[in-house]
């Protein structure tokens, strides 16, 4: 771990932690401000900040158990905030379409990634792991962009969020199967049990939990502790995150479901949104910076590694655009593009798959670097295109509205799906 700053400052472990927090947060906010002034998504600047302060460039902060934990907490609260903006009824309306998007968004990347690695000369197990890494979707990145643009309630945003939950469950099952293949034996009972628990947990929280909490909201607000509803929300967020992790689903899904369960009740408590937003604005930059810090540029000294990283990144973007886009094509090409690009970032989920492959000695450092590059690159590519795709829809809507006065009727309603 390269930490020249820590050595220069001296002091104990607390000083090191405080300095890490200072460097990561300051770098994130400075680059975010620069990118905002350039009319680019701040999230890209925050990820780039991680690349700059990480071991590959300045070496001020290196990824560690502390930074990884901090990043996980950040994305947990980000998804909780997103959940607060997402009513269960809105997700159910697009449930069928979201399922189609998720399934195609898993099949197409997995098959293409698998075939690419076989054609590259890698082993069957290595190809399976790379294909699994392409299946992943980092909903945290897309949610951050959509939230910043005030588009969490847009029709395509609901499809992306719904598909991401399904995608996480499917990706979990594929990872379990591929890991079993790498270990030499497939445990069908464990896989089926995990699938049943994941689906049951998600359905129970969304269908039952939301109604129960809406009815309990007035009682919660009458508690004597300060900011009782906000505190209850934080406890629920952490509790369901832990429950999701124990079941085998990503903790962020539990956090999202906690927020969604409180979405209806929080409408009567606008203070809740301001409080959670403040917490999120502090913690989320650590998640984004940590993604950038994971990228190690020294593995790309070999020309073939660079070429494979670029090809894999192109395939990663194209397969989500095609797979998820086909699933949403009934909405028109522009919205299909929004859905496809929204599902493109691999982020920390792709990195986790690569780390599992490395720990099982299935993939080497070179392939790990390739997947890392793909995960970070797709995470940085998606936000600008998302911003452009939604901006073009706004422009098209404005044109339709102005044409309507002259008797031209738009095909379909901007605010409705199907």
Spatial distance between the Cα atoms of 271 and 251, rounded to a whole number of angstroms: 25
Please compute the mean of the pLDDT values over residues 382-395 and round it to a whole number. Answer: 75
Q: Check residue 415 and give its pLDDT.
A: 36
Q: What is the pLDDT of residues 272-320, one digit of tens each?
A: 777 888 888 888 888 888 878 877 777 677 778 889 989 999 999 999 9
Is the model's pLDDT at 375 over the cut of 70? yes
Q: Check residue 412 and give its pLDDT.
A: 37
* Placement of tokens 């901006």 in the chain: 391
What is the band of 414 on the pLDDT scale with cuts at 50, 70, 90? Answer: very low
Spatial distance between the Cα atoms of 70 and 242, rounded to a whole number of angstroms: 15
Window from 173-182, 232-241, 270-279, 366-375 with minimum mean pLDDT: 173-182
**Domain covering 72-394 in this structure, CATH number:** 1.20.1530.20
What is the band of 187 on the pLDDT scale with cuts at 50, 70, 90? Answer: low
What is the band of 394 on the pLDDT scale with cuts at 50, 70, 90? Answer: low
Q: Check residue 418 and give its pLDDT.
A: 33
Q: Check residue 392 and give its pLDDT.
A: 66
Q: Check residue 5 and give its pLDDT.
A: 52
Window from 21-30, 77-86, 409-418 with minimum mean pLDDT: 409-418
N-term to C-term CA, the chain: 53
Q: Check residue 27 and give its pLDDT.
A: 92
* Placement of tokens 């771990």 in the chain: 1
What is the rounded average pLDDT for all residues in the chain?
78
Q: What is the pLDDT of residues 119-152, one digit of tens each?
A: 988 888 888 888 888 887 877 777 777 777 777 7
Determine what percent of the chain is predicted with pLDDT higher than 90: 9
Please compute the mean of the pLDDT values over residues 65-88 and round it to a whole number. Answer: 82
Q: Check residue 181 and give its pLDDT.
A: 73
pTM: 0.68
Window from 153-157, 295-299, 364-368, 411-415 with minimum mean pLDDT: 411-415
Handedness of CA 219, 222, 228, 229 (dihedral sign): positive
Question: Which is higher by pLDDT, 188 or 77?
Answer: 77
């Amino acid at each position: 771990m390269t930490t020249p700053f820590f050595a220069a400052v001296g002091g104990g472990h607390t000083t090191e932690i405080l300095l890490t927090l200072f460097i990561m947060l300051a770098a994130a906010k400075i680059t975010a401000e620069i990118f905002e002034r350039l009319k680019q998504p701040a999230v890209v600047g925050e990820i780039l900040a991680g690349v700059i302060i990480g071991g590959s460039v300045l070496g001020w902060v290196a990824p560690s158990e502390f930074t990884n934990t901090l990043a996980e907490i950040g994305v947990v609260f980000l998804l909780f905030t997103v959940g607060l903006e997402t009513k269960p009824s809105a997700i159910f309306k697009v449930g069928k379409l979201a399922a189609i998007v998720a399934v195609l968004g898993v099949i197409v990347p997995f098959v293409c990634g698998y075939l690419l690695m076989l054609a590259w000369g890698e082993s069957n197990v290595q190809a399976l792991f790379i294909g699994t890494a392409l299946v992943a979707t980092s909903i945290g990145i897309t949610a951050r962009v959509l939230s910043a643009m005030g588009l969490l309630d847009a029709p395509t945003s609901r499809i992306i969020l719904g598909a991401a939950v399904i995608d996480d469950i499917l990706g979990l099952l594929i990872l379990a199967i591929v890991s079993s293949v790498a270990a030499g034996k497939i445990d069908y009972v464990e896989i089926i049990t995990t699938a049943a628990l994941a689906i049951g947990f998600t359905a129970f929280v969304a269908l039952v939990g939301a109604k129960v909490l809406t009815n309990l909201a007035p009682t919660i607000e009458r508690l004597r502790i300060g900011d009782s509803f906000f505190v209850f929300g934080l406890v629920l967020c952490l509790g369901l995150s832990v429950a999701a992790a124990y079941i085998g689903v990503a903790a962020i899904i539990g956090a999202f479901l906690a927020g969604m369960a409180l979405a209806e009740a929080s409408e009567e408590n606008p203070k809740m949104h301001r409080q959670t937003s403040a917490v999120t604005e502090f913690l989320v930059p650590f998640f984004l910076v940590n993604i950038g810090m994971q990228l190690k540029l020294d593995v790309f000294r070999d020309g073939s590694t660079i070429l494979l990283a670029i090809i894999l990144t192109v395939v990663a973007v194209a397969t989500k655009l095609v797979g998820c886009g086909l699933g949403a094509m009934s909405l028109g090409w522009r919205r299909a593009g929004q859905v496809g690009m929204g599902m493109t970032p691999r982020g920390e989920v792709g990195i986790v798959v690569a780390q599992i492959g490395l720990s099982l000695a299935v993939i080497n450092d070179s392939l790990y670097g390739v997947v890392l590059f793909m995960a970070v690159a797709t995470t940085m590519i998606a936000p600008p295109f998302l911003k452009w795709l939604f901006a073009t829809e706004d422009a098209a809507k404005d044109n339709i509205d102005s044409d309507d006065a002259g008797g031209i009727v738009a095909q379909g309603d901007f605010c409705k799906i199907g």
